[in-house]
Amino acid sequence: MNEPIPQEYDDQLTALLETLWGEGFLSPGGIDEVDRYLAGIKLEGLAVLDIGCGLGGVDIHLVKQHRAAMVSGIDIDQTLIERCRQLAEKSGVGSQTEFICVEPGRLAFADASFDAVTSKDSIIHIPDKHALAEDVFRVLKPGGWFAASDWLAGYEGEPSAEMQAYLAAEGLDFGLATAEVYQQALAMAGFTDLEIVDRNDWYRQHARHERDHLKGALYKGLVAATGAEFVNHEIEVWEKMIVALDQGQLRPTHLRGRKPDRD
């Protein structure tokens, strides 16, 4: 039997991130960022795969606002998967969503299972971008879109000392790659209509507001919920992340590509 995967996004961290980013979200920008990276892509009536669904906020939004017929969220964390199911039921989209706990590695879906594939800030945890792009291409139907956001590296080789300090403080299992690597992985898998949109400038500014919120209006409530030591540590993480963003080492980015139609 496989060892259980240690829970990276535990109760303390999810409580803080949801307070900051909105119910069901473990990544910045909430539904506005989802709408931005999906702009112009129609999901109405479609079957959508969400890689790294976290607490399910994206999936609920795709059903309620984008009118997807069925959203399948996958994640490696069983506790998060349970919470997705609860939130989807509470939000009235239980029958149009399914949440599946998966092992890291290849996608366990048949070829051409989905009309569209999305992911919000989760592919950072999947080190082999080429294997993932091939798999996403395989599970998409011809003509289907892959549209996502992710956190990319703004450096090749060694990160700066400040980026290393941020990564160490964050302590999550990140496997960052550059925009060139993503571009090459998507192109080699067969995707066309590639678009890679850098969001570093937006998040550099936004992260400062988040840090100020953590230190200000949210501080007392978060300390009561998660403890002062944890909140103070996370404020330190934000300070270090802002330096890494300012240096351009950390680059939140929107990505999209289309699987060509059958001719």
Binding residues vs ligand SAM (CB under 6 A)? 9, 25-27, 51-55, 57-58, 74-77, 80, 104, 120-122, 125-126
**Closer residue to ligand SAM (CB): 213 or 216:** 213
Separation of alpha carbons 12 and 17, rounded Å: 9
In one-letter notation, the amino acid at residue 198 is D
The answer to whether 227 and 9 are in contact (CB under 8 A) is no
Whole-number minimum distance, CB 128 to ligand SAM, in Å? Answer: 10
C-beta of 52 vs 144, nearer to ligand SAM = 52
Nearer to ligand SAM by C-beta: 75 or 234?
A: 75
SS3 31: helix
Report the C-alpha dihedral over residues 105, 111, 115, 121, rounded to 10 degrees.
10
The partner residues of 73 in beta bridges, in order of sequence, read 50, 99
Buried b (16+ CB within 10 A) or exposed e, 24-45: bbbbbbbbebbeebbeebebee
Residue among 25 and 146 whose Cβ is closer to ligand SAM: 25
As a residue count, the chain comes to 263
- Side-chain-side CA neighbours of 54 within 13 Å: the count stands at 27
Q: How far is the CB of 23 from ligand SAM (least distance, A)?
A: 10
Minimum CB distance to ligand SAM smaller for 80 or for 189: 80
Least CB distance to ligand SAM at residue 57 (A): 5
First to last CA, the chain: 45
**Shortest approach of ligand SAM to residue 208 CB, angstroms?**
20
Q: Select the residue whose beta carbon is closest to ligand SAM and give its number.
A: 54
Shortest distance (Å) from residue 58 CB to ligand SAM: 5
CB of 112 to ligand SAM, least distance (A): 20
Measured CA to CA, the distance from residue 234 to residue 232 in angstroms comes to 5
Closer of 45 and 105 to ligand SAM (Cβ): 105
Backbone phi, psi, residue 72, to 5° = -105, 110
